[in-house]
Structure 1
């Protein structure tokens, strides 16, 4: 059931029904119909609307609900085994629904869903008998063909005998009276037909929630973008399940004995695989890693452990009824994990669980501690085609052939922009550092490279000679590559605003690289920017090598004049930095650009990264050896917002010196 305001994308901000049609409705093992009022139409011709004669969009929709049941009985009673009545804010997982229904007999009357008696304010006010209930409409109401056959002749009389304004309550009352069954009280229905009215964001990232793994329906999902995200997570979950099944089948075909935890023998101690230790499912101690003695468990590990526990206990309880016992997960005391790059991931889990024996006369509940040895095996390497990207290219090709000469000329300029790398750099003063940046560009760029442009977003500083020196150096650089200056005058410096202004002078298909004056790079970096950034598909956030203060370098490091020296005493790869990014202007605009309300040091890059993560775009993060951040002192203003000041002081402290240098200062090495 839906209403006109949720159907047509031209007229509404929340086209729920259309998003249902474009997501889960395409994967239902049957037919999906949208029941609307008599005068409702849609611009989407392929959307199957059923206009109910004499029905309007007045709420509550008792008449619409009963008319829908009547229409289904008159038109489809003999064509389908099962019928589910749903709202447009419900997500249905087609594969789980089919698996569930295959275990039931549609020739018998069934009335399934999440049973209800009314909320706390309505309890006892719905005229329900002691044994009566109803299936709540939100999570979906499922009935067999036999139920609908027995119900259909009495729909009109039930519509005239309503005692409440709730159409799901009245439908349940009608079925109880004329079919003789109530909504199933089975406790599992709360899991299968999942309802969470208290939290509007309950299903964000639901694919990693083990409690929802077996859910057939999820309710409510009112925002279209949430519906699309849930659908994406469902497809990802399904792909993972199919890949896991394929690996199990391949293993069963090739070997009959289980894989050993010792899958390879190390030749030297340096070749050994280290186990990382996780305590109480919260803190991980790294066995082998720089700057990583311990840290809180990250989301990937947390999600992996959740999936493993769910799968383990599903297997433990697969024959629970036959054995007369059930196992329920309590907690993980500790865990060991390691990655074998050629084989997979190994886990040793110390699990606390409830052992419940429910078969008389030996009923008991015990808390038990057990070890589980788990292996997640890698599948074979696959080469796949990015179909979406190919569709974009094909569509662009067809569009190009139908353009006028003028449009083709403009498109050719845009295509050139898609290969040209535009270096966007905000700058205020610091002429000496800018001269070093320019000298580095001149040194690394080959003479044949013509597709690079420097977009210099220039602020006026307090030193006029400094500003003149920068402009003079930019003029000299223009002999080697194109240089464009965006003048910001004497306005307050803002990196986010500067990069936004710089992007606005470029075409929509321009490839942009946001950089800083403290960066040095080599030509291989330019090539990787072009390769790793894909229009409409992928954004590249390189992980740069950041130098420590030169005073902390060792004597050997100090003798090297090249900044491209990657010793652990000289610097570190800044995994928490997101300021340098390569993306197309079209994608930058699509995610919403920078937050221009942020002032002072930092935060604008993190905000952009989170926007990209939340969008349809893919993020590529990789250490970039061709990018080096030359050390400079950092000033953290005392009037910064607290979160920005913490980030600033944290970055400042991290960049002062290596752990080796600090350890020597605290515990001087003896001869």
Structure 2
């Protein structure tokens, strides 16, 4: 084409300059801003606050700020998966705003504190840390509410965990706020699995019978049930987090755990673990709110790693305490194994067990600490290290031979005056524990061996207790089932020989429910002994001014004694009170409520006797109150209580009781204001005229089956604070005459929120006296009175001997029985 030629093609435009580009961008941004502002003005209505309409701009400025994550676990910069034992698992707990101060708090304060990793709680957008648990690690997820189903909350929680902690932990655990986790067993499980592989571990499910076929699952697809917990390896979370937005946009059901399983299957390529064992180790109880509220001594509880659901926070704490008790048992068993190793090695090396504690592994280097209170002190290896066996205890004489008790439907014992009796609840519980542990041991490798052994019943057994522990022999009826290869089902019988060793004496000093930790035991013991020697001498020397502030010995016990007649017995009581309390300077006060007796005129003599004691001990506080009308123990005690203060420690006592300083110390230790009431079990003497006749009586505090019995069903002797007495409702003042008022007070105490503590006190003796049962008593009171009268006569051996020596008693009993039967027939 020549230069002068003209064509019809359009002429190409020149390139725009930089100024044109800037101008276009500016106009576009300005136009977009105007359109956005117009839409906000149209779509956002004005809001009213305190009667004043606000503009949309003002309303936006007053919206609450989105809370940021609080108390999140701090991880060091150099703390990674491969160099820290505490970076095993990160637990994300899904909860709701209304459960932060209850369920979430219970989880955090129980198993959440013992994880081999970290824990965080994920809730709705505007959730805040509860006041009753200010250190709760909380993540309020943006644009998430507490509505059900919590699919968005679950997926965004996993996303947060990966974005913030993905390179710091091997495993990630999705949990609810009503699940309990045994962290030691969880750690054992996770350390046995390779976290570098994609793993999706949980209790596999395909929906219940009503949902089957409606969850859009293929025939070979499943999901991990969310309730008992879901475990994801780091590799699994790495694969699914980039696709969480797609998983949320393609939901087929309202079940969060189903959709998580679908997402894992699609983007990680793995299903939930098809393993029958997961049904028991990640355990779901279908009882709902009643789950784990009853007896926890069940094989399902003992085998599980997670327990679901625990709806009530108090039951979460109860379950945690039970699991800690099981852990203590494991530690005690481990200690026994160590003692047995020491015992065996000492025998092999020819070192005497008495010299083992002082043995040196090098010159000047002791094997064990010399201080018996040190944690490095071994204890009594000579007793605890004895190898287990039914022949550990070797009697030297025929009197030392311990007979076996026979157990079947009843218990037969030569050591009891009643040779045949029902099997008591404590024996039943012990046998159930033994059977459960034995069956768990038998079936420990059942999966590998392709067989399982089931327990049918215990046919019979033998049991005894010696100085080393309890020995048990059981004949068990079992069922052997082989399910691999040739299937076999056979009934079998096996004998179980078990020795349960004592684990040593554990002593813990507590004060008002809190443990007392002594730093210098010897010096403190010396100060207390010096204080006891110099206290209440004629100079009342006290070189330790803090001794008077002893929180235990400083508690004043206010004795309240109801009395009607019985002047000679009251003289014995005052002599005992003077010897134990006044001469030793015990901090006690005595209030005697005296009522006139129908046949004994002793009110004036009683008051004069008290005045003589007050004159002898000028600093003592002894008061007498004279009552009027008919005597009632409940009314008399209430009159004495009304003179005292709410913070006073009360001790209701009878005139027949003798006691020692040890009994007073137990009253101070076992009675806690607002927490615990102490009902000591008193030892009651039999009639000495029947037992000893003209022979010499033993010491008053001698305790044996021959001399008396424990008043297990007696509740009249009690110590409590007046404030607690009023809180439980006090005595029923309508009860007149003998008995029943103590049972009524005990029932009120049991139904209250206070703890009831009962224990046998060998330093509190009920001296025998004749029991008089008046005919004017109510039927219930008269029956109780006659029962007490019969129980205090003598023990069964003495009664049997008396009946055998006097045939007239049997003839009289037969004749009386015939008279009772004939009218009925």
- TM-score higher than 0.5: yes
Deviates more, 1:109-118 or 1:79-88: 109-118
* 1:358 matched residue in structure 2: 483
Matching residue of 1:68: 157
1:88 counterpart = 2:177: yes
Provide the residue aligned with 1:571 in structure 2: 708
Q: Quote the residue 2:167 is aligned against.
A: 78
CA displacement at 1:234 relative to structure 2: 1.3
In structure 1, what is the Cα distance between the partners aligned to 2:667 and 2:493?
Answer: 51
Q: CA distance change for structure 1 residues 662 and 328 in 2, over 3 Å: closer, same or farther?
A: same
**Distance change >3 Å, CA 635–CA 333, structure 1 → 2:** farther
TM-score after normalising by structure 2: 0.66
Could you tell me which of 603, 613, 621 is aligned with 2:743? 603
Q: Could you tell me how far apart the structure 2 residues matched to 1:460 and 1:190 are?
A: 72
CA-CA distance at 1:133 after TM superposition? 4.2
Note if 1:175 corresponds to 2:264: yes
Say which of 5, 22, 35 aligns to 2:109.
22
Query: CA, structure 1 residues 621+417, in 2 after alignment: closer, same or farther (shift >3 Å)?
Result: closer
Aligned to 1:297: 424
2:460 match: 334
- Superposed, which structure 2 residues align to 1:256-267 within 5 Å? 259-267=388-396
Change in 2 beyond 3 A, CA 1:535/1:67: same
Matched, 1:275 2:400: no
Matches within 5 A, 1:493-512: 495=634, 502=641, 505-506=644-645, 508=647, 511-512=649-650
User: Deviation of residue 443 (structure 1)?
Assistant: 5.4
| Deviations 1:181-227 (CA, angstroms, capped at 9, x unpaired) | 44434332232122224264543576633432121112222333322
User: Is 1:373 aligned to 2:480, yes or no?
Assistant: no
1:3 paired with 2:96, answer yes
Which of 365, 389, 393 is the aligned partner of 2:515? 389
Calculate the TM-score normalised by the size of structure 1: 0.79
Q: How many residues align?
A: 634
Q: Tell which deviates more after alignment, 248-257 or 220-229.
A: 248-257
Of residues 753, 756, 766, the one that matches 1:628 is 766
Alignment of 1:485-524 (within 5 A): 495=634, 502=641, 505-506=644-645, 508=647, 511-523=649-661
1:32 lines up with 2:119 in the alignment: yes
Q: 1:406: which partner in 2?
A: none
1:425 aligns with one of 560, 564, 567: 560
| Cα contact 1:34–1:50 (8 A) shared by 2 | yes
Residue of structure 1 in register with 2:56 after alignment? none
Q: Relative to structure 1, is the Cα distance of residues 539 and 669 closer, same or farther in structure 2, using a 3 angstrom cutoff?
A: same
Please tell me whether the aligned partners of residues 563 and 655 of structure 2 are also in contact (alpha carbons under 8 angstroms).
Answer: no
Cα distance in 2, alignment partners of residues 39 and 661 from structure 1: 77
Aligned to 2:73: none
2:88 aligned partner: none
Structure 2 CA distance, aligned partners of 1:172 and 1:71? 18
The reply to whether residue 449 of structure 1 matches residue 588 of structure 2 is no
What are the superposed Cα offsets for residues 442-472 of structure 1, whole Å, 9 maximum, x if unpaired? 4554534252112457889999978777666
Choose from 606, 621, 626 the match for 1:482: 621
Where does residue 365 of structure 2 map in the other structure?
none
Report the Cα offset of residue 315 of structure 1. Answer: 3.2
Q: CA deviation at 1:233?
A: 1.6
Q: CA RMSD in A?
A: 4.5
Name the structure 2 match of 1:580.
717
| Structure with the greater alpha carbon radius of gyration | 2
Which residues in structure 2 correspond to 1:78-157 (within 5 Å)? 78-118=167-207, 126=215, 128-157=217-246
Deviations 1:126-184 (A, max 9, x none): 55554444433332222222332233233333334444443334333433444444443
Shift of residue 541, structure 1, vs aligned partner: 5.1
1:658 and 2:800 aligned: no
Partner of 1:408: none
Aligned to 1:526: 664
Residue by residue over 1:304-356, the C-alpha shift from the partner in whole angstroms, topping out at 9 and shown as x without a partner, is 33343333333333443454433233322222222221x22222121222222
The structure-2 alpha-carbon separation of the partners of 1:441 and 1:290, relative to structure 1 and needing over 3 Å to count, comes to farther
- The whole-number CA distance in structure 1 between the counterparts of 2:730 and 2:674 is 21
CA distance in 1, matches of 2:668, 2:311: 39
Whole-angstrom distance in 1 between the partners of 2:444 and 2:500: 20
Range moving further from structure 2, 202-211 or 238-247: 202-211
1:93 Cα shift? 0.8
Change (3 A) 1:421 1:107: same
Q: Find the residue that maps to 2:117 and give its secondary structure.
A: coil
Distance 1:296 1:380, change over 3 A: closer
Give 5+ residue unaligned stretches, structure 1: 9-14, 395-410
SS in 2 for 1:33: strand
Contact 1:563–1:630 (8 Å) recurs in 2? no
Contact 1:541–1:622 (CA under 8 A) maintained in structure 2: no
Q: Hey, what does 1:243 align to over in structure 2?
A: 332
CA pair 158-499 structure 1, distance change in 2 beyond 3 A: farther
Distance in structure 1 (CA, Å) of the matches to 2:707 and 2:332? 43
In the alignment, structure 2 segments of 5+ residues that lack a partner are 1-93, 346-385, 521-545, 808-825
- For the Cα contact (< 8 Å) 2:593–2:639, is it kept in 1? no
CA distance in 1, matches of 2:453, 2:636: 57
SS at match of 1:32: strand
- Structure with more relative contact order (C-alpha pairs < 8 Å, separation 6 or more): 1
